[in-house]
Structure 1
Amino acid sequence: MAPPGMATADEGRFCLLRAAAAAAGAQFENWGDSDIVVTSPLTETTCTDADDVSGDKQHAQMVCAQGFFLIRVLLPWKVQRRLAQNREAARKSRMRKKVILALLYHLLSVATCNYCALAFDLEYARWLDEHQRHMTDLRVALGAQIGDDDLRLLVDGVMVHYEQMFRLKGLATRADVFHVLSGMWMSPAERFFMWLGGFRSSELLKVLLSGHVEPLTEQQLVGICSLQQSSQQAEDALSQGMEALQQALADTLAAAAAAGAGPDGVTSYMGQMAVAMGKLATVENFLRQADLLRQQTLQQMRRILTTRQAARALLVVSDYFSRLRALSSLWLTRPRD
């Protein structure tokens, strides 16, 4: 018998298990209001014993079983509640987007280009904040190992969110094509890699292949590589078309300058400038085709990958652009001699 005031080894183990279970319960109660996936020492504790189990050991086993219940049963329930909250927030976001799109459509007919550009910049900043919330939900869901059906809702929500951005860019392109083309609504490092008002689809697929989305099947690898090749070909065609447009526009402006010196200078000048305006309107078409290529690349990527792979792929792509924005911030705040 142990001396008075000294606990036996079994009683000590029981006290440790009870304290751990209480801690797990406390963490679990607070988990629903945070973005942290709860882990507990209880998930690595073995509570079986081949020897004769005393009353205290049986009690300890019961506490351990309750801990497993917290982690394996109630925790997914918390995830389900969080997903339901996310779906409601997404519904409200879609309603807000419809109002904003209607407002931007109205602005196109009455507002100046500067005002439309400002409205787009503000909406893009809000879109980016919401995008980060989507990414946080994906990280939590992958860490909690939720089912594919619930994970598919989150992935589809991200895809819908990207489609909203392409619609917004379409409106902004119609209002002020050069504002979208310049990329002043993006960070400096993002503008450095920008192509026709956005990212290159082929480069995004390179990031995806190097971003630990494995395991990919041979068929999936073939699909991704084929998609990358077709995206590269489409990008080359659009780039060549844009270069040809720039050359044609330069030639037209040069002809307009020469026409201004003739006897019918004003008439010839105005005619050449009208031709230049028509060529300039083609820039909008190039930007729309580039955005369509980006949108189709994301959609094809989603079809090739499984739901869980697509979730990881979206996180990889988002992290890449986050690092570009972080690089921009570091560059802008660098010490200068």
Structure 2
Amino acid sequence: MPGDHYNADSFKAFFDAWLLRQRNFLDDLLSAESGSPHDGDLQDLISRVLSHYEDYYEKKSRIAQTDIFLVFSPPWFTTYERTLLWIGGFRPGLTFRLVNQSINDMSDEQVLRIRRLRDDVKIEERLLNNDLAKIQEKVAAPPLLEFFRRGGHDGVIGGEEAMENLKAAFQSVLASADFFRRDTALKVTEILTPAQAVRFWAAVAQLHLRIRALGLQEDAE
């Protein structure tokens, strides 16, 4: 709802509920994969799955406005999940590994389009890596270093302003990375047929839930 103020606890509650819906969508995708529904029904399912992810990104952008540093080391993720993060989420290049694993009946034209998209994604990933590296250099520069050394207290000349600039820079690079993630997944979905897209999104959900389960197991031990 507009005006919701997200903190770590409220986002964790949202994320837990979102993961439950993720499991339900996986069941629907696997069921569609094993059956023979019409393309229209498959398209409807894919649209609902995409809306499910849009919901996540919308809530994530709100908490990023509240506390950007939470999103870069999210307490709602397991320790293992946090080791896999790239600018607050998954690396878009992972998409193509999932395409290769889940789909073996692409036409020559589809293979070519996926290959071109993968090459574009590699370039964009490098550019965003460079943007992030520039931001991280600012963290080690005065007056921010002195600001952090004093525990974020006033009295450091330019410290508050530098901190606000740093937050804005992190928010900007996260927004670019999240747009890039969504755009890559949408472009892949457009290249695939509805039946192929169902297999792709099932593979995405399976990987996501498997990583989650492994992380919970490791943290419990």
TM-score, length-scaled by structure 1: 0.60
Deviations 1:265-298 (A, max 9, x none): x5xx333442343233211111111100011011
| Structure 1 position 254, deviation (Å) | 6.2
1:205 aligns with 2:92: no
The 3 A distance-change label for structure 1 pair 235 and 183 is farther
Identify the match of residue 108 of structure 2 among 210, 215, 218. 218
| Structure 1 position 149, deviation (Å) | 1.0
In the alignment, what sits opposite 1:62? none
> Which amino acid is 1:243 matched to?
A
> Which amino acid is 2:202 matched to?
L
Q: Which has the higher contact order (CA 8 A, sep 6+)?
A: 2
> Which amino acid is 1:307 matched to?
P
In the alignment, what sits opposite 2:34? 143
| Structure 1 position 253, deviation (Å) | 2.5
Q: Secondary structure at the match of 2:121?
A: helix
Identify the match of residue 184 of structure 2 among 275, 287, 297. 297
Q: Which runs of 5+ in 2 are unaligned?
A: 148-154
In the alignment, what sits opposite 2:166? 279
Taking every aligned residue pair, what percent have the same amino acid on both sides? 25
> Which amino acid is 1:306 matched to?
T
Moved over 3 A (4+): 254-257
In the alignment, what sits opposite 1:310? 197
In the alignment, what sits opposite 2:136? 246
> Which amino acid is 1:141 matched to?
A
Deviations 1:299-328 (A, max 9, x none): 101110000000000011111122212222
Bigger mean CA offset, 292-301 vs 142-151? 142-151
Is the contact made by 1:207 and 1:316 (CA closer than 8 Å) also made in structure 2? Answer: yes
In the alignment, what sits opposite 2:11? 120
CA–CA separation in structure 2 for the residues paired with 1:106 and 1:207: 35
Identify the match of residue 161 of structure 1 among 52, 56, 59. 52
CA–CA separation in structure 1 for the residues paired with 2:137 and 2:32: 51
Q: Secondary structure at the match of 1:252?
A: coil
Identify the match of residue 83 of structure 2 among 181, 192, 216. 192
* Structure with the greater alpha carbon radius of gyration: 1
TM-score, length-scaled by structure 2: 0.89
> Which amino acid is 2:102 matched to?
H
Number of aligned residue pairs: give it: 215
1:45-60 equivalences under 5 Å are none
Is the contact made by 2:65 and 2:171 (CA closer than 8 Å) also made in structure 1? Answer: yes
Q: Which runs of 5+ in 1 are unaligned?
A: 1-100, 108-114, 258-265
Is the contact made by 2:96 and 2:118 (CA closer than 8 Å) also made in structure 1? Answer: yes
In the alignment, what sits opposite 1:325? 212
The 3 A distance-change label for structure 1 pair 167 and 255 is closer
Alignment root-mean-square deviation, CA: 2.0
